[in-house]
Structure 1
């Protein structure tokens, strides 16, 4: 097993080459729009490129992304679509939706590895220094909301397991678990790696065991194939549901793939996490819904009388996923306020989210956060298209290029793509998340290739010195 923080061999430069950021000293806060004060930043490089000496192994990146997507609430998406289709139709829908999601996230991850930057810092090049604040607010704010939803869910389900009716007992569980998740995110990439490495195999073992019990319940594979649909749902809506499970969170894949040594490693890690991992969780939820009438494996384990294992699955799964969420709003906060440390924003966001959870936000915010799944993916589409058109040959060093305050053409493309995606959802035309991504990518690429659209000057290659 490779050490998660292992460095490339001396003399190699896994961060250089086409697309690498020309950052001669990534150990100080001198990224685009950075303060340039020379202050040391934390080892997760929230606002500057990840240097070659800090790049991780493929195994490490894959473990973190798989741990991110092995997320039990995703199973509820499978439970929602399963009753409307035969098992063969369901399998095709999950495959198509997962391929769309995996393809989009793989492109985002590739750009992250090539630049060494988080999504919100890459947005500075596409939207301008001021325009990037829109990305930080949307991405960071959404993750704070999801963090609160997960904390509230843990409190409610723990209370259900033990039969607690006291608000104080639920509140104590929320505060303690939030502190653990916050500490993991504060520790950074390495903390998330070890939590994922330990918890993900255990969760998969439990999930496979529940699937085996589910097959016994329904009479084996033949019984599962014989189950007839009991509700109706269009194929478009079903695929949209699959894509929407992680379209928003997947837009932040560069937060982790920027540590990859090559773009190819980032692509394969994203495929493992978002196509295979996310697809499996949807399948597991679908099978649970067909056999037990319940898509959440935690509740299935409760029904089987395995409360202790249900709690293990609940805490292990949501701990690692919410640590990733806290990390995401931490780096978004660092970009928003132009600070070289993510830690204060991890703590502040966790406190805000925990307060929201204590007020019962999990009962009211999910629909709103789902709506943001339409408006966030176009951000990624603009970043991908703009990178391919203008920055593929290399992003200049910070001292050589200062992004404009606002790139109004890309802001306009984002607004237009989001509007088209939203209207397509209202009219049930196509897949909103995919529509927004494609429109944004194509328009930003086209505008970037126009005369005068490409960045002036030649990017300096950054080599490991």
Structure 2
């Protein structure tokens, strides 16, 4: 109990200030959080989503290229800022958007709103899995959703160490589901049947890359929340990203593709709905119970970061704001948010990427790693992100998420370059609103 109290106090103390280098941990702590974040059936849902518009080989390439883009353009640069400055994403955002602008850009758009929605999706999947084993009425389903939504948030309320341990407990369970589910799918369709599959409408490789980026864009955009706890080296950040993102995501997404392909041949219309896929494949009750348990690992990551984001805006206790985030996500779960999964992922890819790009451009290319926190709203950052987001949202060529990143970064850098602004001069360009 004393350990838990101490952990809560540490989390609260360093919510709004840098973590001392002496308190930082091995890079594997951050990797563990991301392994847990990726070692959930949301990745299998992503595999099913990719199969909706691609054949198997295209889907695998889209997954790998999307993960590489996430590592190079999101995780490593943003993670390095967190490790170097020792502060969370929402304080970092002040260098590009201003104190008030960061409340909107990083706290709400990058983290709070997407994470609360993710929390709702994961809680709904968990309850659906349990409902597939134990038949229940809609009223009972909603009551259980509320209970699970609150209970799932408890490790995140206590902080990063309890989250890392919970993530490791989940891995053997996930391994069981993968082996059993993929085995059932191969027996059902055969290797030849899986390789011969073609979607009704092939959406193209770039569409798939964009979908993969959208799946983890939010998680990679608030990576500083976790890398602020690890020692400040490029190698530490890179190792945590490679180990945290690639193994679990690759295995689970590919497994999701294979299971979804087989289930599609059996009549499943929404291959991203992992519970429906598993039921159609005849997975046993124990597997569906395990699905319920696994959702916990993504829920805690979403709740933890949304609690930090709300703390940045409202300045109240991170512990209780984490609980409030979970309650809001639970309300979305009751409303059936999982039905809008693909649209949700596409929107994330479009609007989150440009915000991350502006932060990276400001820190590494404009202020040259001189951290300049600005008051009010810093409109060059806000406008650059809005333009990049709109272009990403509307563009149909290449990879929309990367289009938005490139455009917003160029606009932001060009503005400062043309005006000859340096880190020192930027301090005079903040706007109080």
1:55 and 1:260 in contact (8 A); partners too: yes
Alpha-carbon distance between aligned partners in 1 of 2:277 and 2:161, rounded to the nearest angstrom:
32
Which residue number in structure 2 is paired with residue 320 of structure 1?
A: 297
Residue 407 of structure 1: how far off its partner (Å): 1.5
Structure 2 SS opposite 1:453: coil
Cα deviations by residue, 1:365-404 (Å, 9 ceiling, x for unpaired): 8635642431121111101111102444443xxxxx7623
Q: Offset at 1:353?
A: 2.3
Q: CA deviation at 1:82?
A: 2.7
Aligned position for 2:287: 309
Q: Is the 8 A contact 2:210 2:346 kept in 1?
A: no
State the match for 1:199 in structure 2.
170
- Aligned residue for 1:56, secondary structure, equals coil
Question: Per-residue deviation at 1:343?
Answer: 1.1
Determine the structure 2 residue equivalent to 1:49. Answer: 18
Distance 1:217 1:332 in 2: 45
Q: What's the counterpart of residue 442 of structure 1?
A: 410
Pick from 28, 44, 47 the counterpart of residue 78 of structure 1: 47
Partner of residue 392 from structure 2, selected from 415, 421, 431? 421
Matching residue of 1:263: 234
CA distance in 1, matches of 2:238, 2:52: 33
| Residue aligned with 1:405, SS | coil
Instruction: Find the aligned partners of 1:44 and 1:449 in 2 and give their Cα distance.
Output: 38
**Could you tell me the TM-score, scaled by structure 2's length?**
0.85
* TM-score normalized with structure 1 length: 0.79
Q: How does 1:97-136 map to 2 (within 5 A)?
A: 97-106=66-75, 107-135=77-105, 136=107
Which of 137, 160, 172 is the aligned partner of 2:143? 172
* Bigger shift: residues 139-148 or 324-333: 139-148
Return the offset for 1:285. Answer: 1.2
Q: Are residues 142 and 225 of structure 1, via their aligned partners in 2, closer, same or farther at CA, if it must alter by over 3 Å?
A: closer
Superposed CA deviations along residues 96-133 of structure 1, whole A, max 9, x for unmatched, are 22211222232222222222222111011111111111
Residues 249/117 of structure 1: CA separation in 2 closer, same or farther (3 Å cut): same
Which residue, out of 279, 283, 286, partners 2:257?
286
Instruction: Report matched runs for 1:20-35 at 5 Å.
Output: none
1:385 aligns with 2:354: no
Question: Which shows bigger deviation, 49-58 or 329-338?
Answer: 49-58
Q: Per-residue displacement from partner, 1:163-198 (whole Å, max 9, x unpaired)?
A: 21x123212321222222211110110121111111
Counting matched residue pairs gives 408
Q: How does 1:404-415 map to 2 (within 5 A)?
A: 404-415=375-386
Give how far 1:57 is off.
1.1
- Asked if 2 retains the 8 angstrom alpha-carbon contact of 1:298 and 1:311, the reply is no
**What is the CA deviation profile of residues 299-320 of structure 1, one whole-angstrom value per residue up to 9, with x for unaligned ones?**
45443341122221x2232101
Match of residue 346 from structure 1: 322
Q: CA, structure 1 residues 67+254, in 2 after alignment: closer, same or farther (shift >3 Å)?
A: same
Q: What CA RMSD, in Å, does the superposition of the two structures yield over aligned residues?
A: 2.8
Aligned pairs for 1:117-156 (under 5 A) are 117-135=87-105, 136-138=107-109, 139-156=111-128
- Which residue of the partner structure matches residue 330 of structure 1? 307
Counterpart-to-counterpart distance in 1, 2:54 and 2:335: 37
* Aligned mate of 1:240, from 210, 224, 229: 210
Q: Which consecutive unaligned segments of at least 5 residues does structure 1 have?
A: 6-39, 396-400, 458-465
- Secondary structure (helix, strand or coil) at the match of 2:424 reads coil
Q: Matched residues in 2 for 1:154 and 1:187: separation?
A: 22
Which piece of structure 1 moves more, 358-367 or 409-418?
358-367
What's the counterpart of residue 6 of structure 2? none
Q: Is the CA contact (8 Å cut-off) linking 2:130 and 2:288 kept in structure 1?
A: no
- 2:59 corresponds, among 90, 104, 118, to 90
The answer to whether the aligner puts 1:430 opposite 2:398 as a matched pair is yes
Cα pair 1:44 1:50 within 8 Å, conserved: no
CA drift of 1:241 comes to: 1.6
Whether the aligned pair in 2 keeps the contact of 1:158 and 1:170 (CA below 8 Å) is: no
